[in-house]
Amino acid sequence: MRIAVDDAQLNIVTAGSGDAIVLLHGFPFTHKLWENQIGALARRHFVIAPDLRGAGDSSVTPGPYLMEMLAGDVAAVLDELGVANACIVGHSLGGYIALAFFRMFAERVSKLALVCTTFESDSTPRAQERYELAESAENQGMTAVIDAYLPKLLAAECDAGVREKAMSIMMHNDPKGAAEMLRGMAQRVASDDLIEELKIPVLLVAGGRDLLAPVAQARAVAHQLPSGALAVCERSAHLPMLEEAEVLAAILREFTAP
């Protein structure tokens, strides 16, 4: 399904029926990152899994893709599908967008699940790295992005098939879209001011071997949340939806149960 949002055509996959769940993928991926969870969640829910603007089969438009712009895209998709509110599930970049969505449309968020993400903004050196990688993506293609990201995303001993799946999904992106997403992430604001406002059920999912969004960081935030919980995928680094697909599906099914 394709949905027109302002100057973009967004590719959307839907499945099932019931209360709505939105699955927002991380960078540099597409909705296919969630393939192993969509079916499990669709048994009881209406699952909505978009390719974010500039990713997968969605349009590449001028950027940078600010988190607020992407959150606005999510709201437009829900409007088009006739969904008043939903459980928003965001992985990494998708978590940044989910938090921006809550800031802008809190009344439309029934529950919030954040997978391997952070409430912090980029440090100056990290933002600079993103800007430099954006230029490399435009000049060298997705190979530059994959070379920079893949070693950080998976546990060293992960199955070769998981690594190949991750690379395949990453390659299904336009380098220009990836570059504009990198610039948008570099400019995002911190979301730690939202912690006390998140009175809805919130689940933080961490990878036990994740160096990008460590368990200790997630645990510290979970303790501050009014209705927060923490689940850990012990054998995963930054991609539990691939590294421990069934474990993550079970965690999300339990959290999203009525």
Task: State the DSSP string of 52-85.
Answer: PTTSTTSPP-SS---HHHHHHHHHHHHHHHT-S-
Q: Which amino acid is at 128?
A: Q
Are the CB atoms for 81 and 54 separated by under 8 Å?
Answer: no
Domains of the chain are 2-256 (3.40.50.1820)
Are the CB atoms for 197 and 224 separated by under 8 Å?
Answer: no
* pLDDT score at 165: 96
* pLDDT score at 202: 98
Exposure b/e, 118-154, CB count within 10 A at least 16 = b? bbebbeeeebeebeebbebbeeebbebbbebbeeebb
Report how far residue 143's alpha carbon sits from residue 166's, in angstroms, rounded to the nearest whole number.
Answer: 13
Exposure b/e, 16-36, CB count within 10 A at least 16 = b? beebbbbbbbbbbbbbbbbbb
Report how far residue 199's alpha carbon sits from residue 172's, in angstroms, rounded to the nearest whole number.
Answer: 37
* pLDDT score at 157: 87
Q: Which residues in the chain land under pLDDT 70?
A: none
Distances (CA, A) of 12 to 78, 88, 99, 150: 11, 15, 20, 25
* pLDDT score at 119: 97
Structure tokens at 222: 């979970």
* pLDDT score at 14: 98
